[in-house]
Amino acid sequence: MNFDLSEDEEMLKALAERFVTDHYDHDSRRAFLAEPTGFSAANWALLGELGLIAAPFPEDMGGLDLDATGIATVFEALGRGLVVEPLAEAAVLAGRIFAAAAPQELRDAWADALVSGEKRLALAHAEARGRGGLPWIETRAVQSGDGWTLRGAKPYCAAGAGADGYIVSARLEGEPGDAAGVALFLVTADAPGLTAREWHMADGSVAVTLQLDGVAVPANCRLEGDGFAHVASAQVMATLARCAEALGIMERMFADTIDYLRTRTQFGAPLGSFQAIQHRMVAQYAVIEQSRALLNLALVSWQSDDFANAVHGVRAFIAPACVELGHEMIQFHGGMGVTDELAVGGGHKRLLVLSRWPEDPLAALDRYAGVLH
């Protein structure tokens, strides 16, 4: 099996790595997280100029329609740089849902601004009583004249701060746990009746809680097709992106710890010379290699019936493994490891979020086992 990257994939990897090199260090990352949206608006505009925002979008919207290998390549590089801009949530998840389901009039109105980064969408789907990957939508959409009226709450809208619009799932009929009867709507951030309360996730990113009190949505802002199906399909690629990002973060934390163990001395010898520490580092190196092997298995399954299942398998392994690796790397750094003074602390916080969002890793394991669909 040939795992060499194509010319286009090498170019995208180089773009992502150059972006990290030119714009990221530990202090600048902390400054980006402190901004109101939890990331740098200037960096987001630059990602648009570089074409990295457009890349996951289909070609008819001006994107590159990246395949699985392209997505994984870009996000692993961004993970190594501990990049905070929400490409996975905005472009791979919300963007691809919009591209797949938006009616043509709405597509034409938003396409150019989305692929350039001028505008940004966020998915508002998860609800408070949703558990274990099972469908649960209480938010309701009622037909009103030529449009729709939405009522409900979306407490977990990741990367929602400063978004220009939200893709909101709402139930047209049935009970909250029914798999059918759910549609998606594009709700602009300035829609009357929509309120957004910002809050920080564990990694410092800014999510929002949306309250929809009689929000009027025009008929052409209802997305086409089955809401759950569109979200599930886009989540597969977003999950792949998150897993690749987690792998990049694991590699970065491991490399930083290797450097630390080679230079930090105790009892007159480098910490890395102690056999017990070497054994623990070798165990985590094996975890990284296992993660990469599972990611590669998913990549070679692209466009096959096994692809989604392979992605669920990657997440089921990486989600708990990356947190355990973070714990080990922090322990080797001692008390400094949990502070914001070192990249290892910030990396671990990001891994905590990736391991639990948008669902518990046990749900991915259930999907891999065929218990959930």
Q: Is residue 46 scored above 80 in pLDDT?
A: yes
Q: Distance between CA 339 and CA 347 in Å, rounded?
A: 11
The predicted-structure confidence for 112-169, as pLDDT tens digits, reads as follows 999 999 999 999 999 999 887 888 999 999 999 899 999 999 999 999 999 999 999 9
Domains assigned to the chain: 7-116 (1.10.540.10), 121-226 (2.40.110.10), 229-369 (1.20.140.10)
What is the pLDDT of the chain when averaged over all its residues?
94
The predicted-structure confidence for 334-368, as pLDDT tens digits, reads as follows 878 788 888 999 999 999 999 999 998 999 999 98
The predicted-structure confidence for 284-299, as pLDDT tens digits, reads as follows 999 999 999 999 999 9
For the whole model, what pTM was predicted?
Answer: 0.95
Residue for token digits 């490891």? 337
pLDDT at residue number 272:
83
Quick count: other Cβ atoms within 10 Å of Cβ 263? 10
